[in-house]
Every structure is written in structure tokens, then in C-alpha cells.
Amino acid sequence: MPATGLLRFYGRAFAAAASDADAEVQSLELERQLDAEGYWREHNPESVDTLIRQYLSVSPRPTGIFVADDMQVAMLQPALQKHGVEIGPGKVEIISCNNEEPYLVGLSPKPAVIDIRVESIGARGVDQLLWRLEHPDLHERIITAIEPFVLSNEPGYVGSRG
């Protein structure tokens, strides 16, 4: 799918981690294209078809697909299945980001997801803002990290949903 700056960052970070783990990585993405009115139409069937054609032409075919956003995986996975690509553990495995259930609910099997924990990020941001308002004279920079985790449908997996 076309990659925004943040989604492109997710993809590059995932590719770097996979490469560090000695996995072979090949990136497939579409560049942004503006329509006649100057708007960027990022999610459309033509983009999905173009990516699927690229994926199907790769030899040997990758056994795993990283998709940087659940909205995109909701379009991509059914289209792959329509083209005969078997999805799931031991087949072609998909992992996406954000854990946005409305996009994942119709997928079978559900892909593994990297839950970036938006609720925790929001709660920590509010806590930090309230603390900062109570301590206006402290000028230290405070950095807080919320660690993401992987949710999987594989039985026995630490982050298993099943």
C-alpha cells in the first residue's frame, strides 16, 4: 500500500529488526500518487492489486508479510486469499500494526498484530501533562516509553488471543 511517513518508518523498522534476526527482507510498496483533484488516495483496490501482482511475481515467494496498518491488512489479506494465497501459521503469515479490532474482525484467520497500546500512550500523556502543570518550574525533559507487544492466534504463544 502507499506509505505515509509514519507507516514507512514502521516498515523500515520492522525490516531492520527482521534483517538483524537474519531474515531475508524484500520491501514492496507503492509511492504516493495524487488524483486529478490533487488528493492522495492511499487505500483503493487498484493499489492492492498492484501490490499483489508484485508479491506473486517474487520468487521464491515470501512466507511472511508485514503490513504497517490494520486498515491496509483488512484490504490486502482478503485480496491475497482471493488470488489463492493461503494465510495462516505454516502458510503465509501476516503481521500488522495497531490492533484496531474494527479492521481485523472480518479477517480469517486473524493476523498477528503489533499492539502499540494507544490507550496506554494516551493515559501516560495525560499523566505527564498533569504532572508538568503541577511542576511548572522543573525544566527537565522526561521521556516515557510504552512498549508494544505482539498478539497472535497461535496456541501457546505468549501474546495469544486464543
Question: Strand, coil or helix: what is 96?
Answer: strand
pLDDT at 15: 81
Between 43 and 6, the higher pLDDT residue: 6
The number of beta carbons lying within 10 Å of the beta carbon of residue 75 is 18
Element (H, E) at 94: strand 93-97
Measured CA to CA in angstroms, residue 52 lies from 6, 18, 48, 58, 149 at distances of 22, 21, 6, 10, 28
Measure the CA dihedral 114/115/121/124, to 10°: -120
- Using a pLDDT cut of 70, give the percent of the chain over it: 83
pLDDT band at 43 (very low <50, low <70, confident <90, very high): low
Measured CA to CA in angstroms, residue 98 lies from 34, 67, 104 at distances of 26, 10, 10
CATH topology of domain 5-151: Rossmann fold (3.40.50)
pLDDT at 83: 95
DSSP 156: T
Give the CA angle between residues 32, 111, 74 to the nearest 5°.
Answer: 45
pLDDT at 6: 72
pLDDT at 107: 94
pLDDT at 11: 79
pLDDT in tens, 129-146: 999 999 999 888 888 888
